[in-house]
Amino acid sequence: MVAELLQRQVEVLVTAGGINATHAAKAATRTMPIVMVTTADPVREGLVASLARPGGNVTGVAGLHTEIMERRLALLKEAVPQVSRIAVLLNSTYNPSIQAQRLQEVHATAQALGLEVSVQEVRSPGELEGAFTAMTQAGAGALLVFNDPLVLEPHRRDIVALALHHRLPAIYPWRMYVDAGGLMVYGISLRERFRRAASHVDKLLKGANPADLPVEQPMQFELVINLKTATAIGLTIPPTVLFQADEVIK
């Protein structure tokens, strides 16, 4: 796909959906400007030299996954005070080293909150139903879903339906899950990230050098709660959590 775009002589490449697209674009061209939108830690992932001075042809908007994971777990514990074990749903084949790093962050935060963690790995949509059965059998009282553009996000409606069927309070990475009926989302506003990426594209088309155009860190986060789903699974969201929400779907 990147090769096809280069043949069309585009002037800027915009990559989204995780680091794989950005790595593919960077491998294909070292000169054309690349604006990444959903990359968690571009320095650690070898895409840029630093956030302040990227030093190559890649710039854009970065993420803060460690801080976000900590906040998601804290919100999940606050929304479901009685929970003692949480399940983590992830695609084990999607960037395994990064998933392992995120799991370390989850385990550390969960330990600090007095939570046990049950990890459920899936590699294909056909494994989702079995994963949810395993969660409930393991005694999980809530669910944390990792972001994954390959298996989980394309099947978000199935995941939301399974969480509802098993009456599992779940927190998700992106707004699209709550729009599909999920309980809670806390994360970076995708709308705002793409707006900021558009600002980078504008500067690059006006002659800015990507090597000198700082990578932005997200400034806007959103907590959205679906009260209809809470009612459906028999959960009462504490007022202290509702007060923090940017939007409550009734």
Q: Please answer whether residues 82 and 235 qualify as being in contact, where contact means their C-beta atoms are separated by less than 8 angstroms.
A: no
Strands (E), the chain: 13-15, 34-39, 58-62, 85-91, 116-122, 142-145, 170-172, 184-188, 221-226, 247-249
Question: What mean pLDDT do residues 199-213 have?
Answer: 97
Identify which has the larger pLDDT, 62 or 156. 156
Q: For residue 40, name the pLDDT band (cuts at 50, 70, 90).
A: confident
Report which of 102, 100, 93 is spatially closest to residue 127, judged by C-alpha positions: 93
pLDDT at 120: 97
Matching residue, tokens 């690059």: 204
Question: What mean pLDDT do residues 85-101 have?
Answer: 89
Residue 63 has pLDDT above 90, yes or no: no
pLDDT at 50: 94
Q: For residue 219, name the pLDDT band (cuts at 50, 70, 90).
A: confident
φ/ψ (deg, to 5) at 171: -120, 135
Whole-angstrom distance, CA of residue 223 vs CA of residue 5: 36
- Complete edge-to-edge strand list for the sheet that includes strand 13-15: 13-15, 34-39, 58-62
Residue 110 has pLDDT above 80, yes or no: yes
* CATH number for the domain whose boundaries are 2-64+189-220: 3.40.50.2300
Report which of 38, 45, 43 is spatially closest to residue 63, judged by C-alpha positions: 38
Question: What mean pLDDT do residues 189-215 have?
Answer: 94
Q: For residue 64, name the pLDDT band (cuts at 50, 70, 90).
A: low
pLDDT at 201: 98
The whole-chain average pLDDT of the chain stands at: 93
Identify which has the larger pLDDT, 113 or 102. 113
Output 201-206 pairs: Cβ under 8 A, ≥24 positions apart.
Answer: 201/12, 201/14, 201/35, 204/11, 204/12, 204/33, 204/35, 204/59, 205/11, 205/12
Domain positions in the chain are: 2-64+189-220, 65-187+222-249
Q: In 10 A of CB 37, how many CB atoms?
A: 22
* CATH number for the domain whose boundaries are 65-187+222-249: 3.40.50.2300
What pLDDT digit, counting tens, does each position of 113-172 carry? Answer: 999 999 999 999 999 999 999 999 999 999 999 988 888 889 999 999 999 999 999 999
Identify which has the larger pLDDT, 98 or 195. 195
Output 159-166 pairs: Cβ under 8 A, ≥24 positions apart.
Answer: 159/89, 159/128, 162/128, 162/129, 162/132, 163/132, 164/229, 164/232, 164/233, 165/132, 166/132, 166/133, 166/135, 166/136
Residue 66 has pLDDT above 90, yes or no: no
Question: pTM for this one?
Answer: 0.88
DSSP assignment, residue 214? Answer: P
What pLDDT digit, counting tens, does each position of 171-192 carry? Answer: 999 999 999 999 999 998 888 8
Residue 30 has pLDDT above 90, yes or no: yes
65-187+222-249 shares the fold of 2-64+189-220? yes
Angle at 124 between CA 175 and CA 182, to 5 degrees: 25
Whole-angstrom distance, CA of residue 98 vs CA of residue 107: 14
